[in-house]
Amino acid sequence: MMELSSQYSARDVEHKWYTFWRERGYFKPSMDPSAPTFSIVMPPPNVTGVLHVGHALNNTWQDILIRFHRMLGDNTLWLPGTDHAGIHTQMKVDELLRSQGIDRREIGREAFIDEVWRWKEKYGGEILRQVEKLGASVDWSRLRFTMDQGLSKAVTEVFVRLYEEGLIYRGYYITNWCVSCRTALSDIEVEHEDEPGTLTYLRYPLDQEEGFVVVATTRPETMLGDTAVAVHPDDPRWKHLIGHHVRVPLIDRVIPIIADAYVDPEYGTGAVKVTPAHDPNDFQMGQRHHLPQIQVIGEDGRMTEEAGAYQGLDRQQARAQILQDLEALGVIEKAEALVHSVGHCEKCGTVIEPLVSLQWFVRTAPLAEPALAAVRSGDIQFVPQRFEKIYTNWMENIRDWCISRQIWWGHRIPAYYCDHCHEVTVARTAPDSCPVCHGPVHQDEDVLDTWFSSALWPFSTMGWPEETTDLAMFYPTSVLSTAYDIIFFWVARMVMQGLHFTGERPFATVLLHGLVRDSQGRKMSKSLGNGVDPMDVIEKYGADALRLALVLSSAPGNDQRYSDERVEAASRFANKVYNAIRYVRMNLPEGFTPQAVTMDNVEDLWIVQKLNQTTQHMTEWLKDFEFGQAARAIYDFLWDDYCDWYIELTKIHMRENPETSSNTLSMLVFVAEQALKLLHPFMPFVTEELWQSLPHQGDSIMVAPWPSPQNLPANRAQDVMDRVQSLIRTARNLRAEVNLPPGQRVHFQMVADDAETLADWQMEAAAIREMVRAQDISWHVKAEGAPKPHHALTGVCQGGSVYLPLEGIVDLAVEQARVQKTMEQTQRELERVEKQLADQKFRERAPEPVVAKAQEQRLELVARMERLKERWEDLQ
């Protein structure tokens, strides 16, 4: 058995045990083919990233599941890895090179990629080192990276197969374009922010007839690319003009007025300008009506040749100049200030420009059908189930996926173009020449969207397309734990690709966690400066405290608020458990070996019943992913039942019955060891430290078996202890009401409602006497007509009453004056609140929460007055 220091130091303990676990190989699966398999692949954090509290929560959830199933005896794998984070990593290295006076375009693509790999080797593992600090028991021997050789092979294989199946094509389409990063972006790489803007109403004159149509726009610079004006087909204001034409101011282009049900008659005037090359909805409308696409903003954010006199201006400069020219032309009818959502590049913050460009796409509709069926049939389940609706809605309205990015870092698209005949060859390996004309070929310059490789993560990390042992044993995986905000962009794509390429679901359960917000409920962000660095929290309080604080406040799918106070409370819990086990350890004789316990007294039977209930509930809740409820169960058991009650009761029992101390110590060790196992998935470090200090079997708690409920004979221990605890709490409350010093012993009178209750109390009379600090206790049954003591405080408990005579322990006159003064203050406050609630204007005008709070305050004051009146009567 290991000795425990006088004080718990999370910093010393956590590093020691993580190293121990890793060196012993406990994180690796057993590879036992006869054992049930449980596997998770870690959602790969960006190689550029650092741990934030959302990561901390998700990794804690996964670690709880892994440690739980490992202790159940399952063949358990948690596979870690990182994502290459194409655009973000390129920006990081680009910025580093620029600080050294180096332009990546001057050194060329190959030299730049070499620089990225060097950067990755030096800095790319920081987030994984932080995952270690959190205590994640991942199998580091299976660490994967989305750009490593095996995964790159899988990416190429998937691209080629999809292309051969006609599910990948190249074409012109509108995409999110960052004019700073110079690449197309996925929807998830666009952050929308509410910003002030201006809705400008412009008169488009009718062609060859009198009159005009007024359209409203927030982006007047795009009007140079207008190819139609659209109205709703049923809008009576414009119905007579459908098929007519208008002229675009400034450029005098004649464009048609078309009817389309997409148009919202309530927006602006009900007539909208259509710019297919610069708006995704206009693009769709243009496709339906065969409108030309005129691109007036280039990939660099400057106006193109199609913009005429505005060519070369930055888009913001062009907007200002165009508004000035429109004002001079007299076609601005009015302008309205508004707040609208504007998309920004997640990486650099630049305002996104929707542009039509030549890109590679995946036809997703054929892939979505079986992915939808897998969820509808229950083959894949969402926790919470309500998120199935979000998944289903997106899959039913899915659009083709733009998978090409105009950057250098990433999986380069395996498409090769002939320099002579322009034949396109998609191949697993680069061809030496064109298969048609045998001319020289060059590879596509674009790389694949990072999400393309991430979509293969559950099976590519297991060795696919090779038929590996890991793929056969651990795929499909058991659970995917991730955030609900990437259902569309990652979860759905993994389901589609997993089913298509392996014929099996990638995971059985999609477990979704919410956001961790700040203490005010706000989303954490750099702009608000309200982010929390988990490493700072771990340095101060320890990983166990952070883990428990996050889990106690969590429930699948729900957001939670972070607070330092919760982490402090979790740290105090760790110290309380540490000191309790240290007390047990200090009382064990040298060479102590626990004996087979006999539960022949009430407190022993009661604590094992409580342990059984906790074990049963926790096992069920962990299987149902109710981590918060499971954590609360073991927290309450250890804090209340074991530390505050059982240990205190055993102290008295061993003093009163020293001949049974060996059995009592064995019981203390047995219950502690079982409880530490239950706590281990939540607080792995402190539980290992404490478990090693007690008599135990095996080398580590993390590979010890998960507890099972103990067989107990039928008994009344729970009922007896409920009555005893209620009695003790009531007596303690009476002491507190008159501020008795803890060491002052007093007389109590206990009156039971019936003989059975009295027998239950007297069974634990010695414990009751010590725990209420009684000098003596008189015991009575109510039916015997026990007289109520004069000037005594009365407390009602389960099964009877408790009396604390006040004569000789307090100054009755002083106490009467204090109670009377408190009653007067409470009455004045009650009258104030009742007057406020009687005011009709207050009830009508005050916010509902304010009125509700006043009503709640009134009820509390009424209850307080009742208690004070009872106290006054007791003092008479």
Residues in Cβ contact with 157 at an 8 Å cutoff, skipping those fewer than 6 apart? 428, 465
Rounded Cα gap, residues 552 and 570, in angstroms: 9
Write out the two tokens for 122: 């030096």
Q: At what angle do helices 661-679 and 627-636 cross, to 10 degrees?
A: 160
Strands annotated E in 249-304? 253-259, 271-274
Rounded Cα gap, residues 78 and 141, in angstroms: 11
In degrees, rounded to 5, the angle at the alpha carbon of residue 191 between the alpha carbons of residues 185 and 194 is 140
Rounded Cα gap, residues 380 and 479, in angstroms: 10
In degrees, rounded to 5, the angle at the alpha carbon of residue 64 between the alpha carbons of residues 63 and 70 is 85
Rounded Cα gap, residues 294 and 216, in angstroms: 20
Give yes or no for a contact between 723 and 51, defined as CB atoms under 8 angstroms apart.
no
Strands annotated E in 488-564? 507-513, 516-517, 560-561
For 561, other C-beta atoms within 10 Å of its C-beta total 14
For 318, other C-beta atoms within 10 Å of its C-beta total 24
Which helix or strand (DSSP H or E) is residue 573 part of? Answer: helix 564-586
Give yes or no for a contact between 837 and 854, defined as CB atoms under 8 angstroms apart.
yes
Q: At what angle do helices 86-99 and 109-123 cross, to 10 degrees?
A: 100
CA-nearest of 715, 706, 800, 787 to 758 is: 800
For 193, other C-beta atoms within 10 Å of its C-beta total 12
Rounded Cα gap, residues 734 and 629, in angstroms: 32
Q: At what angle do helices 755-763 and 717-737 cross, to 10 degrees?
A: 80
The sign of the CA dihedral 864, 866, 868, 874 is negative
CA-nearest of 798, 144, 236 to 474 is: 144
* DSSP one-letter code for 433: S
- Give the β-pairing of 190-205 and 332-345: antiparallel
Distance of CA 445 to the CA centre of its chain: 37
Give yes or no for a contact between 654 and 661, defined as CB atoms under 8 angstroms apart.
yes
Rounded Cα gap, residues 550 and 627, in angstroms: 10
47 vs 116, 201, 493, 750, 840, CA distance in Å?
11, 47, 21, 67, 61
Rounded Cα gap, residues 582 and 664, in angstroms: 16
Give yes or no for a contact between 541 and 570, defined as CB atoms under 8 angstroms apart.
yes
Query: How many helices and strands in the chain, by DSSP H and E?
Result: 29, 29
Q: Is 526 annotated as a binding residue?
A: yes
Give yes or no for a contact between 680 and 71, defined as CB atoms under 8 angstroms apart.
yes
Rounded Cα gap, residues 256 and 241, in angstroms: 10
For 714, other C-beta atoms within 10 Å of its C-beta total 4
Q: Is the peptide bond before 556 cis (omega within 30 degrees of 0)?
A: no
Which helix or strand (DSSP H or E) is residue 231 part of? Answer: strand 228-231
Known binding-site residues equal 526
Residues annotated in a binding site for ATP: 526
